[in-house]
Structure 1
Amino acid sequence: MERSKFWGNYGSSILLLLGIIVGSIVGVVLGEKAMILSPIGDIFLNLMFTIVVPMVFISISTAVGNMLNMKRLGKILGSLMAIFIGTGIVAAILIFVVVNIFPPAVGAKIVLNSGNMGTPSSAANLIVNSLTVNDFSGLFSRKNMLPIIIASIGFGFSVSVCGGEESPVGKLLNNMNNIIMKLVELIMKLAPIGLGAYFASLIGEFGPKLLGDYGRAMLIYYPTCILYAILAFPLYAYISGGKEGVSRMSKYILTPALTAFATQSSVATLPTNMAACKNIGVPKDVYEIVLPMGATMHMDGSVI
């Protein structure tokens, strides 16, 4: 019973970790020959990236469309912005302290090629291009995540006003949301093989470079990220849900963390974050709004 419960909680994470470890060993042993596995890893990543746009649009539209009280939406968005800014400041303070103690560029000789600067955009154009697209087809690209989020919130609000989850469109959205999450589960079954192959080709191609001038920076960056996760994540979970919050977070964080580490992409990690929050017990309307916005706007690793 205990073994079955343990495997049920951690089995997928263990398989994912084993896939990454085996892939890393293959990359080190085979070197550049490991790049033959690159198509397998790319196929998995492409599946993850492809599902992101419909998942974001449908999940946010469903969550907002199901809301009868728009004050809750305002509270979620307000809390979201405060937390994103607050945790970003904590990450920034941490890295300022670390790099002043361990300067990452000491002894590095990295030659940067010169390039031509394009025409700079005005602040107004940057805002317009960040928040909107000039054609509906632009909403089908993961490169335009903020416009997709804004459009999905607007669409969900309109569904809520026109009958909510009991309306024909509301029922369709809820059904499509269940279908999308089931599809994500199927894709994630390929994760140990896909990420293992991706890591093997990555290390095979860039391994020697990473041990050169970038090595010191990596030896500072990754331990700092781990330190931040060990210190800050339990604190955030405790503030959110007490000891039970810390326990649930610890139980389900490994798969999203490994996916983020392996893919280096917040967007590619979004499906695993959705599944983890569902298992943790985060309210559905909260994680379906917060996570897609977080994949674009809340990047403490990038701050570091």
Structure 2
Amino acid sequence: MNKILENYGSILLLLLGITLGSVVGLWFPSWVDYLKPLGDIFLNLLFVSIIPLLFFAISSSVANIDGVHKLGRIIGIMGIVFLITIAIAALTTVVALYLFPVNSGMDPSSAIDNPLDDGKTSWGDRIVGFLTVSEFGLLLSRQSILAFVIFSFLVGISARRAGDNAKAFNHFIFAANEVMKQLLLLIMKIAPIGLGAYFAYQVKTLGPQLFGFYAKPMVLYYIFGLVFFFVFFSIYAFVAYGKRGPIIFWKNNIIPSLTALSTCSSLATMPSNLVAAKRIGIPSSIANVVIPLGNTLYKNGSAISSILKIYVAFSLLGWNFFDWTTIVTAVGITVLVTIVAGGIPNGGYIGEMLMISVYGLPAEAIPAVMIIGTLVDPLATILNATGDTVAAMLVTRFAKERFIPQEDDIV
């Protein structure tokens, strides 16, 4: 019981806050006006922290990578595997949402205008606006978050290129990254109160239909997530290893899956993934690179939930999700979110802030995507954590290395 509370305590507190907020919104609506400022304070703290947090997290990570030039081929293949399979996860989620829409419970009269769909801005101008700004001061606005992320990557690369001359700068951004992580942990301590207050506001505003709205995407996520887990991971294992691949993968993926479920932590699952990789026969030169980096950069569960959150937000606001420009942008954001959010505590929330900023979503949509992220976290963790092993299998295959499984795992 203590282990469960330790590993799932934050999720349970968030669910408790959401539940209490629902009760207040339904039975004590007069309290909502007093509670909503608490939700606003929580969200404002998140928005204030996101700019320095992203800068120090990204630039310090890039600047402090050692010896990448020696592993260029593996890193290159790994990057291609990560990008393609994450895109597959995102696109198949779009297809699932198109075939099984989950927004039928919402009142279309509550729709508000989509600022990205004004009919006046060309696709080329949108790309320029997403990726760049005209002056430095504009980078510090969350409305320019993608341009800021690119700038942070470039600073990290420049710090690496500066070599010994940048040692003091590298120490500074590394230390600042640790400080900002602690700041985020402090802010997230009030998440149950902040989200509970906002949920009370939503329940008062939208009524009981809100519960059906959250239930439908959650059910879709768990059904589709399980199908993706078993079907696509088996396909990847087959591509990597041949007809014996799915059997040897699933035989050795049981312990990592149970570890991910019981700890709700990708990081805690990494040791069992490394053991599984060894038993599968993945060369240590590949496993020791792909699995630790994949723990931070490669998240199938987050990719699926990212698309679902964007869809939920659009549905809540009455916007059309199935526009090709929206879908392309959503897939791009999803790929970026899985990279940016991985090494940050409660990084899913930062990914949500990134998504909200890019689309210019109003405050009404913010709690929706956060709550969805909380509800799907257990299965998302399993997909995130155990996907690292099957990705390492694919890298082994495309790097033309040999699998050398342990004797008792040869089928």
**Counterpart amino acid of residue 44 in structure 2:** N
Q: Measure the CA separation in 1 of the matches of 2:308 and 2:159.
A: 33
Q: Please show how residues 275-294 of structure 1 align to structure 2 within 5 Å.
A: 277-278=266-267, 280-281=269-270
1:301: which partner in 2?
A: 309
1:256: which partner in 2?
A: none
2:253: which partner in 1?
A: 242
SS state at 1:163 partner: helix
SS state at 1:224 partner: helix
Higher mean displacement: 178-187 or 79-88: 79-88
1:227 to partner: Cα distance: 2.8
1:125 to partner: Cα distance: 2.0
2:25: which partner in 1?
A: 27
**Counterpart amino acid of residue 310 in structure 2:** S
Q: Please show how residues 1-304 of structure 1 align to structure 2 within 5 Å.
A: 3-31=1-29, 33-68=31-66, 69=68, 71=72, 74=76, 77-99=79-101, 104=104, 110=109, 120-163=120-163, 167-207=167-207, 210=210, 220-232=216-228, 242-251=253-262, 253=264, 277-278=266-267, 280-281=269-270, 299-302=307-310
Structure 2 residues without counterparts, runs of 5 or longer: 237-248, 272-290, 313-411
* RMSD after superposition: 3.9
8 Å contact 2:130–2:144 — kept in the other structure?
yes
8 Å contact 1:43–1:194 — kept in the other structure?
yes
Higher relative contact order (CA 8 A, sep 6+): 1
Q: Measure the CA separation in 2 of the matches of 1:144 and 1:235.
A: 38
Q: Measure the CA separation in 2 of the matches of 1:134 and 1:34.
A: 41
Provide the TM-score with structure 1 as the length reference.
Answer: 0.71
1:19 to partner: Cα distance: 1.1
Q: Measure the CA separation in 2 of the matches of 1:110 and 1:31.
A: 22
Q: Measure the CA separation in 1 of the matches of 2:51 and 2:125.
A: 24
Q: Measure the CA separation in 1 of the matches of 2:58 and 2:138.
A: 18
8 Å contact 2:21–2:199 — kept in the other structure?
yes
SS state at 1:299 partner: helix
8 Å contact 1:225–1:301 — kept in the other structure?
no
1:286 to partner: Cα distance: 5.3
Deviation by residue 1:165-200 (Cα, 9 ceiling, x = unmatched): 981111111111111111111111111222111211
Q: Measure the CA separation in 2 of the matches of 1:235 and 1:248.
A: 21
Higher mean displacement: 179-188 or 234-243: 234-243
1:113 to partner: Cα distance: 8.6
Deviation by residue 1:240-273 (Cα, 9 ceiling, x = unmatched): 99334433443455xxxxxxxxxxxxxxxxxxxx
Provide the TM-score with structure 2 as the length reference.
Answer: 0.55
Deviation by residue 1:193-238 (Cα, 9 ceiling, x = unmatched): 2211121122112226758xxx6x7665443234334544687889
2:282: which partner in 1?
A: none
1:105 to partner: Cα distance: 8.4
Q: Return closer, same or farther for 1:16/1:287 CA change in 2, 3 Å cut-off.
A: same
Q: Measure the CA separation in 1 of the matches of 2:121 and 2:296.
A: 33
Q: Return closer, same or farther for 1:133/1:167 CA change in 2, 3 Å cut-off.
A: same
1:266: which partner in 2?
A: none
Q: Measure the CA separation in 2 of the matches of 1:154 and 1:115.
A: 31
Q: Measure the CA separation in 1 of the matches of 2:295 and 2:225.
A: 20
Q: Measure the CA separation in 2 of the matches of 1:103 and 1:14.
A: 26
Q: Measure the CA separation in 1 of the matches of 2:158 and 2:233.
A: 33
Q: Measure the CA separation in 2 of the matches of 1:285 and 1:103.
A: 36
The number of residues matched between the two structures is 270
State, as a whole percentage, how many aligned pairs show the same letter: 26
8 Å contact 1:41–1:197 — kept in the other structure?
yes
8 Å contact 1:65–1:159 — kept in the other structure?
yes
Q: Return closer, same or farther for 1:191/1:47 CA change in 2, 3 Å cut-off.
A: same
